[in-house]
Amino acid sequence: MSRIGVFGAGYVGLVTGACFADLGHDVTVRDVVPEKIDALERGEVPIYEPGLGELLERSAPRLRFTLDVHDAVEGADFLYVCVGTPPTYSGDADLSAVWTVIDELQGSVSGSGALVVMKSTVPVGTGEKVRAALDARGLEGVGYVSNPEFTAEGTAVRDFMYPDRIVVGSFDEADGDAVAALHEGIDAPVVRMDVPSAEMVKLASNAFLMTRISFINEIANVCEATGADVVKVAEAVGLDHRLGPHFLRAGIGYGGSCFPKDSLALKQLAANSGYHFQLLNAVIEVNELQKRRVIAKLEKHLGKLRGRRVALLGLAFKPHTDDMREAPSLVLASRLIAEGAEVRCWDPVADASGLLSGVVRCATPLEAAEGADAVVVVTEWPELADLDLAALRAAMRTPLLVDGRNFLDPDAAQAAGLVYEGIGRASQSSFAALPETPETAASDLRR
Q: Kindly list the residues in this chain that would bind ligand UDX in the complex (CB under 6 A).
A: 149-153, 206, 209, 213, 247-249, 251, 254-256, 258-259, 317-318
Q: In what order do the strands lie in the sheet with 115-118?
A: 63-66, 26-30, 3-7, 78-81, 115-118, 143-146, 166-170, 190-193
Q: Which SS3 state, helix, strand or coil, does residue 70 take?
A: helix
Residue 170 bridge partners (DSSP): 145
Is residue 258 part of the annotated active site? The answer reads yes
Nearest approach, Cβ of residue 441 and ligand UDX (Å): 38
Q: Pairing between strand 143-146 and 374-377? A: unpaired
Q: Which is nearer to ligand UDX, 152 or 186 (CB)?
A: 152
Nearest approach, Cβ of residue 331 and ligand UDX (Å): 12
C-alpha dist (Å) from residue 164 to 55, 276, 387, 420, 436: 21, 31, 35, 38, 54
Q: Which is nearer to ligand UDX, 32 or 152 (CB)?
A: 152
Of 314, 291, 295, the closest CA to residue 306 belongs to 295
Give all strands (DSSP E) within 303-422, no chain letters. 309-313, 342-346, 359-361, 374-377, 400-403, 419-421
Nearest approach, Cβ of residue 447 and ligand UDX (Å): 39
Q: Which is nearer to ligand UDX, 234 or 418 (CB)?
A: 234
Query: First and final CA of the chain: distance in angstroms?
Result: 76
Q: Which is nearer to ligand UDX, 254 or 420 (CB)?
A: 254
Nearest approach, Cβ of residue 251 and ligand UDX (Å): 4
Q: Which is nearer to ligand UDX, 27 or 216 (CB)?
A: 216
Of 345, 230, 217, the closest CA to residue 290 belongs to 217
CA angle 225, 229, 235 (to 5 degrees): 140
DSSP assignment letter at 386? G
Q: 54-57 long-range CB contacts below 8 Å, 24 or more apart?
A: 55/18, 55/19, 55/22, 55/157, 56/14, 56/18
Of 82, 258, 345, 362, which residue is the catalytic one?
258
Nearest approach, Cβ of residue 165 and ligand UDX (Å): 11
Q: In what order do the strands lie in the sheet with 342-346?
A: 359-361, 342-346, 309-313, 374-377, 400-403, 419-421
Q: Which is nearer to ligand UDX, 293 or 393 (CB)?
A: 293
Nearest approach, Cβ of residue 236 and ligand UDX (Å): 15
* Ramachandran sector of residue 277 (left: φ over 0; alpha: ψ -120 to 50; beta: rest): beta
Q: Which is nearer to ligand UDX, 153 or 199 (CB)?
A: 153
Asked whether the beta carbons of 40 and 82 are under 8 A apart, the reply is: no
Q: Which residue number has the CB closest to ligand UDX?
A: 258
Q: Which is nearer to ligand UDX, 401 or 423 (CB)?
A: 423
Asked whether the beta carbons of 168 and 61 are under 8 A apart, the reply is: no
DSSP assignment letter at 431? P
- Residue 87 to residue 102: CA distance in whole angstroms: 19
Nearest approach, Cβ of residue 314 and ligand UDX (Å): 10
Nearest approach, Cβ of residue 231 and ligand UDX (Å): 12
Consecutive H or E run containing 265? helix 259-272
- Residue 158 to residue 233: CA distance in whole angstroms: 30
Query: So which residues are the catalytic ones?
Result: 258
